[in-house]
Amino acid sequence: MENRFDRGFIAGVIGGLVMNIWSFWAGFINFTELRMVDWAGIMFYGHTPPFSLIETVVAFFLQLAFSGVLGVLFTYLIPLLTSHNLYFKGLVFGSTVWFFIYAVSTLFRVPGTIPSSVGTVLSNLLAALLFGLVTSYVLKMSYATAAQPMATKMTAVPARKPLKQNDDDQNNPNKN
């Protein structure tokens, strides 16, 4: 992919997938009471869980789209900050978004998001850190792939012009 927007969106979606895998697992083992998809559902539907299967699926895909947008935002921030220590910057970005979302939900007293247990807070923080780490990793790999020399990228090139056979024969005195 040539363009930063596309790379950022894909990296954010992949980061969102990893974040949701952790979040679903944390919910399965009862470490958290509020998975990432539940946060999205509360924001989109305006009511607390439980959600129907279709509501959960739609909230999941909308949450992935939001993760993609965050990936784009992160990608456009990188040139402003330099790409040095990209993984650390990804961790800071993920935790900053987590903090902002928690702050907004607390300030506006969003039902279903407050109060939160320690397990939920830690699980969602870990999910946000995973998001930042995976997003920065995918971005770094996508830029490394784009920077490969042209010879290693299977590209079509025009054939060379054939040499004339007569030129060598005429200029070679040893040729009988």
- Contact assessment for residue 22 and residue 13, using Cβ atoms and an 8 Å cutoff: no
69-113, pLDDT tens digit by residue?
A: 999 999 999 888 877 899 999 999 999 999 999 999 999 999 989
pLDDT at 22 over 70: yes
pLDDT of residue 173 exceeding 60: no
* Mean local confidence (pLDDT), 133-152: 79
Q: What is the pLDDT, as a whole number, of residue 120? A: 95
Q: What pLDDT score does 17 carry?
A: 98
pLDDT given at position 25:
98
Is it the case that residue 154 has pLDDT exceeding 60? no
Model confidence band, residue 171 (pLDDT cutoffs 50, 70, 90)? low
Higher per-residue pLDDT: 99 or 158: 99
Element (H, E) at 83: none
Cα separation, 88 vs 156, whole angstroms? 39
39-60 tens-digit pLDDT: 999 999 999 999 999 999 999 9
Rounded to two decimals, the pTM is 0.80
Give the chain's end-to-end CA distance (angstroms, integer): 57
Residue 155: band (very low, low, confident or very high) from pLDDT cuts 50, 70, 90: low
**Whether the predicted pLDDT of 121 surpasses 80:** yes
- The span from the CA of 105 to the CA of 122, in Å, is 16
List of residues 6+ apart from 107 with CB closer than 8 A: none
The radius of gyration computed from the CA coordinates of the chain, to the nearest angstrom, equals 26
